[in-house]
Amino acid sequence: MAAGASYRTAEASFLILTVTLILAASIDAKQKACDKGWECKGSIYCCNETITDFFEVYQFENLFAKRNSPVAHAVGFWDYHSFITASTVFQPLGFGTTGGKHMGMMEVAAFLGHVGSKTSCGYGVATGGPLAWGLCYNHEMSPSQSYCNPDYLYPCTPGADYYGRGAIPVFWNYNYGIIGDGLKIDLLSHPEYLEQNATTAFQAAMWRWMNPIKKKQPSAHDVFVGNWKPTKNDTDAKRLPGFGATMNVLYGDQTCGQGFADSMNNIISHYQYYLDLMGVGRQNSGDNLDCAEQVPFNPSYKSAST
């Protein structure tokens, strides 16, 4: 308040101050009332439902029904608990908690659709159908190379191999380095953590889902939940919000802009299979489901994984 203001103004300011204090106190009380325990504390998303409200252990078991069958390649590794534990880092940032329960379920199905398709060992004649075999692998079985590229920021650790590991497979020293930075876990020195610890493996995949490949680009999360508004460049390139653009963010031209190729169709099939099993239904897949005609956000040599 300026010096020399009249009493009248001072009185009004006092009133405004009081109202502000009361409002602040009630917002405070509301946020406290909305904290939902160990999964979600102190974030604006705490008022929303959390993943365990709509995704329970039996649903995880349904989605990944064959992962512990004797012919699977990561028997006993993946479980519901590690998925939920990993998600507690990202739910306060909006993972599965943005836009209400329906969107939360769709996002979990979308994220797991990527995970399931990338870790599946289901083929045409597999028992239970080809889509029942997600989380069959936790690492590449016969790597043809060590995936080490000279990198100033993330030089390879002598003796370490950077072949595909995790829930959305991570390849190359550069990607281990940047995800390790994001999680504050030294994955550059210890890439093997992603095949030893399912929580870390899910966290690496969630970090990739929640973060853009390049600054000023949207993340897979952003393009899926509607946080991202395409520019004219994007619409010219047929990039629109939806599941299709999540494949564009994560895999670029390895999957997108190739028409209705098997690699893309397989990811979509897993997403829709999970929507059905979760009770959301594939009729609720959302707009712009594919990326058959999308121009990649980034050319392939920069994309996150194969």
Ligand X SMILES: *[C@@H]1O[C@H](CO)[C@@H](O)[C@H](O)[C@H]1NC(C)=O
In the complex, the residues that contact ligand X under the rule CB under 6 A are 44-45, 47-48, 98-100, 185, 197, 199-200, 203, 231, 233
Nearer to ligand X, 145 or 233 (CB): 233
Other CB atoms within 10 Å distance of the CB of residue 299: 10
Burial of 11 (0-12, 13-18, 19+ CB in 10 A): exposed
Q: Tell me how far, at minimum, the Cβ of 131 lies from ligand X, in Å.
A: 28
Q: Tell me how far, at minimum, the Cβ of 239 lies from ligand X, in Å.
A: 11
Nearest-angstrom CA–CA distance, 115 and 302: 20
46, 40 Cβ separation under 8 angstroms: yes
Q: Tell me how far, at minimum, the Cβ of 203 lies from ligand X, in Å.
A: 6
Closest residue by beta carbon to ligand X: 100
Helix (H, G, I), strand (E, B) or coil at 50: coil
Q: Tell me how far, at minimum, the Cβ of 104 lies from ligand X, in Å.
A: 9
Nearest-angstrom CA–CA distance, 18 and 16: 5
Nearer to ligand X, 68 or 227 (CB): 227
Nearer to ligand X, 126 or 237 (CB): 237
CA nearest to 285, candidates 259, 233, 247, 250: 247
Nearer to ligand X, 90 or 273 (CB): 90
Helices (H), 192-254: 193-196, 198-210, 220-225, 232-236, 243-251
Q: Tell me how far, at minimum, the Cβ of 95 lies from ligand X, in Å.
A: 12
Q: Tell me how far, at minimum, the Cβ of 198 lies from ligand X, in Å.
A: 8
Helices (H), 119-261: 173-183, 193-196, 198-210, 220-225, 232-236, 243-251
Nearer to ligand X, 6 or 233 (CB): 233
Nearer to ligand X, 233 or 283 (CB): 233
